[in-house]
Amino acid sequence: ESSEKWILNVTAQTPTNIAVIKYWGKRDEDLILPINDSISVTLDPNHLCTTTSVAVSPAFTQDRMWLNGKEVSLSGGRYQNCLRELRSRASDFEDEKKGIKITKKNWEKLHVHVVSYNNFPTAAGLASSAAGLACLVFSLAKLMNVKEDHSKLSAIARQGSGSACRSLYGGFVKWIMGKEENGSDSIAVQLADEKHWDDLVIIIAVVSSRQKETSSTSGMRDSVETSPLIKHRAKEVVPKRIIEMEEVIRKRDFPAFARLTCADSNQFHAVCLDTLPPIFYMNDTSHRIISCVEKWNRHEGSPQVAYTFDAGPNAVLISHNRKAATLLLQRLLFYFPPKSDTDLNSYVIGDKT
């Protein structure tokens, strides 16, 4: 009948986040519960973000999703966990004008379609799961009229991908590891909003556009099973760094922020090397960028730029302000000169191709 020919949709946009105190290692693989707290900064939504549209209609016969124009399967456990958690919290919805009425019970039977785009090349190996899963959970929650606050939604996004829970807030965000076995207290909280420290400028140096060889999920599983260093890190090092980092962010103390951020990135990669078999996420170009920034920071007397590397060779460079960012770009272009015919918008520092 005509009254059943409706479609209801919601579109949302979510930026990715970059950890300055890293998450690496789970204590529960299914619920995605980490072995330590982490802190991240959420990027400006105009860059590195995911746009997701979700729709529901009685005409849909199954849940389906398209990522960057290609259909992907929603049958994986992580997607299913998120969908189940959201459906169980859905509320009644009514739009009299359009003749749409969905009761709480109907949500269990109705199917959704999801269309998601990253505004950056997924192949560049830049964190895409964080923005993607956060956006999926947020847009579905809006569509299904889920009446939960951001922290509850973060616990659902966490079950899609750990780092995704931190993308539900802007500014600086802490993912609290929590104590509960069911994960109910493993949530993200905002430490400071996006206006608190808005003179920071983040530059991402794409070192290689190739896909990483070891996924974060399997890499951190191997680290938890084999690295002696990861235990020391999670128990002794990170808890102190979290307290220090919160204070440093509150005070906007850039030199201390840079020292902590660089040290934590380096320890995360040391844990990777301490894993059996060792995991190499950084390459020679990454190492050259570190040396370049370290030398410059020493020369300046107090750090002007912080570097941090995730599960790949690309450098995330956080500059104190626009002036430091301009000087940093000059240095990068000097040390890693592009070929004369390079399009600077897609210029990759280290690819030999």
Give contact residues for ligand 2P0 (rule: CB under 6 A): 19, 22-24, 32, 38, 129, 161-163, 216-217, 310-311
Considering beta carbons, is residue 116 or 161 the nearer one to ligand 2P0? 161
38-42 and 172-175 strand pairing: antiparallel
Round to whole Å and give the CA distance between 55 and 189.
29
Considering beta carbons, is residue 111 or 221 the nearer one to ligand 2P0? 221
Round to whole Å and give the CA distance between 31 and 184.
10
To ligand 2P0, the closest distance from the beta carbon of 98 in angstroms equals 37
Round to whole Å and give the CA distance between 97 and 91.
19
Considering beta carbons, is residue 161 or 304 the nearer one to ligand 2P0? 161
Round to whole Å and give the CA distance between 311 and 325.
24
To ligand 2P0, the closest distance from the beta carbon of 29 in angstroms equals 8
> How remote is the C-alpha of 163 from its chain's centroid?
5
Hey, what are 187's tokens? 């949530």
To ligand 2P0, the closest distance from the beta carbon of 307 in angstroms equals 14
Closest residue to ligand 2P0 using C-beta atoms:
162
Hey, what are 189's tokens? 């909280």
Please tell me the total number of residues recorded for the chain in this structure: 353
Residue pair 223/311 in contact (Cβ under 8 Å)? The answer is: no
To ligand 2P0, the closest distance from the beta carbon of 82 in angstroms equals 12
To ligand 2P0, the closest distance from the beta carbon of 104 in angstroms equals 30
Q: Residue 96: count other Cβ atoms within 10 Å of its Cβ.
A: 7
Considering beta carbons, is residue 56 or 168 the nearer one to ligand 2P0? 168
To ligand 2P0, the closest distance from the beta carbon of 153 in angstroms equals 16
Considering beta carbons, is residue 162 or 171 the nearer one to ligand 2P0? 162
Considering beta carbons, is residue 56 or 157 the nearer one to ligand 2P0? 157
Which residues, in sequence order, are CB contacts of 121 under 8 Å at separation 6+? 209
Round to whole Å and give the CA distance between 341 and 217.
38
